[in-house]
Structure 1
């Protein structure tokens, strides 16, 4: 059972966002939501998930999809305390399930509740639903691909990788993967392996072509494209990446 409660934005919430809450099982879940005030028409929908230890406010500030694509409905969900080996073994900081079946699929249920509300209340164009996420949120974006790949027009994980448990369930999707060459949290070589797996899954060419600053596009004659955004930094969401993600999303419509 999922119930919806809407409350007013807090003073420290980013502008133009409102807090929405859902009852998912026995737990109240929340997200910051931006909805355009433009005339009624079908709208794209973007979910953006923070990393482990992060907050919805941080995701809204760093991704800022509501500023880069103001015609889209943008949702910045808040995670729950989640144990992570080495970094947070006691599970004191918020995060997301790491594979299908983890945490009793609490976050997949939360996503399902959010999607139902957004679709019912905001005239969402169902062929233009997207997900992005940073770090643990990027891992969860790949979890969403494995669980409900048919939902999305495209995804954009940042500083993340596919769980080995989920790769067999991945479906070909347009992917823009952002990775830092000096990432010490999610090893860059591991991210390269994920990119290679997704590229082969989509049937993309081995040889890519330049696709803007720091970007390479791998095209496919039979499947969707893969774009990499490889920057010289570490585990952060680099400046310029959110704008490039929005550009990529705008080019992708679910068939």
Structure 2
């Protein structure tokens, strides 16, 4: 199937914020033991964006459980990672079996910290890099999946580890209108954008992270609190194993939750449960149509 410049005409869907992109979309079954235990249907799908085939793992809840309010969760792997490993580590379809969970596969991407020659897979972290190939992939998937499964567009979320967390922050900056919340893990948001739209954020950070320094992530908390008009003092929100979560309330309905652990650059056990809980608490406001007088 080829679609050129998907346009969403249903009033309940958020309008595309990107130029027309040529893409194709193919599906193949990917059996997995997790799909049996959760009832999810797992498939490998392909979107061809700007002539490049992009592969994605999509986990669908049973058809009888899907509605317009079915959540759509994107989980982006770290630099050098894979969609398969991301799914095995995060397993959001297990924590949230009612959601459509998407695990995209990155392309070779340069990283100044760990891969300056760009030999490993990853995601762009700045708008305009690499022709915005990953933002275009996100656009294509959001438009296609919302239309295919008749989603209302109010329950779309982005999370990811390391480079995938950085990309989630980039999506907030460039596609914030399409998102209900984000959940970066071991990432940073160091160059705040003045006109960024307030958005609920849950951020997971390790105090002993040797790559994305904890001090960078603390600066991120300051930047997010400023963008979301949050309180400077937090209050206990939850604990999960060795994770301690603190809530910073927002006057704009966009709270920050910081999840701190003693470990390093990792996706810690318990992070999926806390991110899922946070996502469940946040959706975009419903769009109401005025009744003609």
TM > 0.5: yes
CA distance in 2, matches of 1:100, 1:175: 20
Where 1:172 maps in the other structure, the secondary structure is coil
Q: Is residue 212 of structure 2 the alignment partner of residue 186 of structure 1?
A: yes
| Counterpart position of 1:217 | 247
Q: Is residue 101 of structure 2 the alignment partner of residue 74 of structure 1?
A: yes
Contact 1:149–1:171 (8 Å) recurs in 2: yes
1:186-223 Cα deviation digits (max 9, x unpaired): 01100110111111111111110000110000002234
Aligned length: 253
CA distance in 1, matches of 2:160, 2:193: 18
CA distance in 1, matches of 2:113, 2:178: 33
Structure-to-structure mapping, 1:90-105, within 5 angstroms: 90-105=117-132
CA distance in 2, matches of 1:167, 1:160: 17
Structure-to-structure mapping, 1:108-127, within 5 angstroms: 108-127=135-154
Where 1:182 maps in the other structure, the secondary structure is coil
Q: Is residue 56 of structure 2 the alignment partner of residue 35 of structure 1?
A: no
1:246 to 276, 284, 292: 276
Structure-to-structure mapping, 1:152-163, within 5 angstroms: 152-163=179-190
Q: Is residue 264 of structure 2 the alignment partner of residue 237 of structure 1?
A: no
1:150-203 Cα deviation digits (max 9, x unpaired): 111110000001252x63353210000000000011011001101111111111
Tell me the CA shift for residue 234 of structure 1.
Answer: 0.4
Contact 1:139–1:163 (8 Å) recurs in 2: no
CA distance in 2, matches of 1:142, 1:227: 15
CA distance in 2, matches of 1:82, 1:91: 5
**Aligned CA distance change for structure 1 residues 36 and 102 (closer, same or farther; 3 Å):** same
Contact 1:99–1:163 (8 Å) recurs in 2: no
- Structure 1 unaligned spans of 5+: none
| Counterpart position of 2:80 | 53
The CA RMSD over aligned residues, in Å, is 1.5
- Structure 2 unaligned spans of 5+: 1-21, 36-40, 286-293
* Normalised TM-score (structure 2): 0.83
Tell me the CA shift for residue 90 of structure 1.
Answer: 1.3
CA distance in 1, matches of 2:72, 2:277: 14
61-70 or 13-22, which deviates more: 13-22
1:103-151 Cα deviation digits (max 9, x unpaired): 1100000001111111111232311110001000000000100001011
Where 1:192 maps in the other structure, the secondary structure is helix
Task: Kindly name which structure, 1 or 2, has the bigger radius of gyration based on alpha carbons.
Answer: 2
**Aligned CA distance change for structure 1 residues 84 and 169 (closer, same or farther; 3 Å):** farther
**Aligned CA distance change for structure 1 residues 86 and 198 (closer, same or farther; 3 Å):** closer
